[in-house]
Amino acid sequence: MTLVQFLVWLIGGGGGGVIASWVIEKWCWAQGLQSEMKRYLAWAITALFGMGAFFLLGWLGETAQISWLGSWPQTAQEWANTLWIVATFGILGGGVKHARTVLSEK
């Protein structure tokens, strides 16, 4: 897997959710949180990883790897919409990955 493929996986392939789950498992203070709070924390971490990966793809000049992105955002409204989509893709992808791996074991 190349760096670009890894970043695309972080954005919408469930990678952000996998990493968020791993981070929450490793943080001692997160172990005491209720499951609902862990879910919100996972969403926030997933969204941040997705946005970070998005910015890194842009910095590398690899925005063509994100097929739904016609061009780099130009206005504040386009930035807000793009970051919302990136966060949503990451959270949905992470939720699907979580359901297939963790919940299917129960």
Question: Cα separation of 18 and 20, whole Å?
Answer: 5
Residues 51 and 83: beta-carbon distance below 8 Å: yes
- What's the total number of domains in the chain? 1
Burial class of residue 83 (count of CB atoms within 10 Å of its CB; 0-12, 13-18, 19+): middle
Residues 30 and 41: beta-carbon distance below 8 Å: yes
Is 85 in a helix, a strand, or coil?
helix
Average pLDDT over the chain, rounded to whole? 81
Tell me: the pLDDT tens digits for 43-83?
Answer: 888 888 888 888 898 888 876 666 666 677 888 998 888 88
Mind giving me the DSSP string for 19-83? HHHHHHHH-TGGGGS-HHHHHHHHHHHHHHHHHHHHHHHHHHT-GGGSTT--S---SHHHHHHHH
Task: Provide the residue range defining the domain that includes 96.
Answer: 3-105
% residues pLDDT > 70 (the chain): 87
pTM for the complete prediction? 0.77
- Give the C-alpha distances (Å, rounded to integers) separating 76 from 57, 64, 72, 82: 19, 21, 12, 10
